């Protein structure tokens, strides 16, 4: 496994691989790798000749400076995990390498970045688009891999590829969960033991909601999910929205969308967790 810090080194390596006719799969990450990330890498490994992983904590997608400061950084362990999955090359750039000058680009995603995460974290998805577009330019992958836990982000990335007319296949991979159902997240390691014991109520409630769809209308479902989770004093729902799974437009009744997605953000002390479920 090779580790590089500059775009020049990365392009040189990948140019040689493409000259051999090799396909390139890319897994962009912010580090603090867990089993969910490793599943993305394994799928990329199965589908491509060369697998690239980036580890870069992107400052432009954090609107809360504390969140950026507290984001877990575990580079040595991350590199070991990449090696275990037989990644070919890991790109670990500095902020200056990714942003040699301030990125002032503004992307228009329509409603996709005005709801849910976009509404509660203004500018977040523009920051995601800035860094992912720069990484795509550096790697020029045939395929890029993203987890469905970040459902709205996945929609944004697909739209970004369309806006920039990039010839990249975006591969969505299922949410990976802990044994107790909690969606795997780098932020889970920041939870206290008591918070960690409470957090599985989020997924438990979402799975129960899925089974109760025929018993409740959309508004009743939203209220029920929020009340269930907020019944635990350590959990505080920031939002729970039910939207068209394709357009992310909020729905008023189940018949408004062939498939609906329920997206949630929950504050657990200082840690913010997200999850989603399809209806």
- Tell me how far apart the 2 most distant CA atoms of the chain are, in Å: 58
- CA 148 to the chain's CA centroid: 7
Residue in the structure block whose two tokens are 């062939």: 258
- 267 three-class SS: strand
Annotated active-site residue in 34, 37, 120, 124: 37
Spatial distance between the Cα atoms of 232 and 235, rounded to a whole number of angstroms = 6
Residue 244 β-bridge partners? 260
Spatial distance between the Cα atoms of 98 and 141, rounded to a whole number of angstroms = 17
- Nearest CA among 139, 146, 147 for reference residue 166: 139
CB atoms within 10 A of CB 150: 21
Residues in Cβ contact with 84 at an 8 Å cutoff, skipping those fewer than 6 apart: 38
Spatial distance between the Cα atoms of 83 and 250, rounded to a whole number of angstroms = 42
Q: Are strands 2-4 and 24-29 parallel, antiparallel or unpaired?
A: unpaired
Q: Is the distance from CB of 22 to CB of 111 less than 8 angstroms? A: no
Spatial distance between the Cα atoms of 8 and 15, rounded to a whole number of angstroms = 10
Q: Does 84 participate in catalysis according to the annotation?
A: no
Spatial distance between the Cα atoms of 168 and 170, rounded to a whole number of angstroms = 6
Q: Is the distance from CB of 173 to CB of 43 less than 8 angstroms? A: yes
Give the active site residues. 37
């Amino acid at each position: 496994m090779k580790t590089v810090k500059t775009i020049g080194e990365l392009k040189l390596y990948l140019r040689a691989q493409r000259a051999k006719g090799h396909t390139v799969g890319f897994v962009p990450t912010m580090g603090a790798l867990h089993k969910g990330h490793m599943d993305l890498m394994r799928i990329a490994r199965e589908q491509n000749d060369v697998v690239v992983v980036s580890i870069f904590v992107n400052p432009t997608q954090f609107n809360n400076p504390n969140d950026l400061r507290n984001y877990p950084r575990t580079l040595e362990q991350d590199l070991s995990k990449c090696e275990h999955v037989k990644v070919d090359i890991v790109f670990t750039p500095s902020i200056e390498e990714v942003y040699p000058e301030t990125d002032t680009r503004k992307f228009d995603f329509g409603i996709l970045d005005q709801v849910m995460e976009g509404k509660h974290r203004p500018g977040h998805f523009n920051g995601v688009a800035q860094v992912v577009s720069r990484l795509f330019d550096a790697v020029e992958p045939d395929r890029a891999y993203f987890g469905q836990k970040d459902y709205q982000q996945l929609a944004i990335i697909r739209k970004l590829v369309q806006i920039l007319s990039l010839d990249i296949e975006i591969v969505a991979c299922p949410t990976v969960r802990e044994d107790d159902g909690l969606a795997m997240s780098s932020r889970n390691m920041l939870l206290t033991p008591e918070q960690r014991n409470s957090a599985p109520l989020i997924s438990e409630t979402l799975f129960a909601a899925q089974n109760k769809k025929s018993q409740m209308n959309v508004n009743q479902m939203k209220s029920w999910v929020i009340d269930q989770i907020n019944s635990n004093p350590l959990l505080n729902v920031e939002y729970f929205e039910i939207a068209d799974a394709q357009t992310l437009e909020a729905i008023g009744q189940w018949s408004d969308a062939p498939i609906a997605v329920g997206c949630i953000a929950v504050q657990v002390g200082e840690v913010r967790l997200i999850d989603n479920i399809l209806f």
